[in-house]
Amino acid sequence: MTLAGGCFWCTEAVFQLIKGVIEVKSGFSGGIYSNPTYEEVHSGKTGHAEVVQLIFDPTVVSIRQLLEIFWSTHDPTSLNSQGNDKGPQYRSIIFYHDDHQLLIAKEMKIKFNQNELYKKPILTEITKFSSFYLADNEHLDYFRQHGAHPYCQLVIQPKVNILKTSFSGQLG
């Protein structure tokens, strides 16, 4: 499963802590050409989103659990932005890899909207996965390596705190 919920540093930090998530890779998906650089994607002109690609054990953590965490740790009602991060590269999107993931993503989006989890409708796109381009090494495992950085403390740590408070039973 490949997810975009704003800056990939944030999404990566959250999913690295989940029991059953084997690997989290930050990169780019959804754009118009192959092998984009961070600078190209950051321009907002390539159509790519900053994403994380998850490899997980479905006997430990389900797609439903992953999507509940995903929708709870970013603002899926904000179009093309998360906080101060603005542009289409920061949009909320689920890139599904198979029909099962598509079905669950659509079902859960409807359920979350009906339950009015947020005051505004969830704008998360649900799109078929086509390609993934790994980010440069300097962007991988960012929160673990730079946790004291002000961006990490101001933007990423609150998302990790939500995870630890609301999903403590799913931490690895």
What tokens appear for 59 in the block? 């006997």
* Catalytic entry in 1, 7, 10, 41: 7
What tokens appear for 105 in the block? 């993503």
DSSP sequence for the chain: -EEEESSHHHHHHHHTTBTTEEEEEEEEES-SSSS--HHHHHTT-S--EEEEEEEE-TTTS-HHHHHHHHHHSS-TTSTTEETTEESGGG-EEEEESSHHHHHHHHHHHHHHHHTTSSSS----EEEE----EEPPGGGTTHHHHHTTSHHIIIIIHHHHHHHHHH-GGGB-
Q: How far apart are the first and last CA of the chain?
A: 19
Please say if 7 is a catalytic residue.
yes
Which residues are known to be catalytic? 7
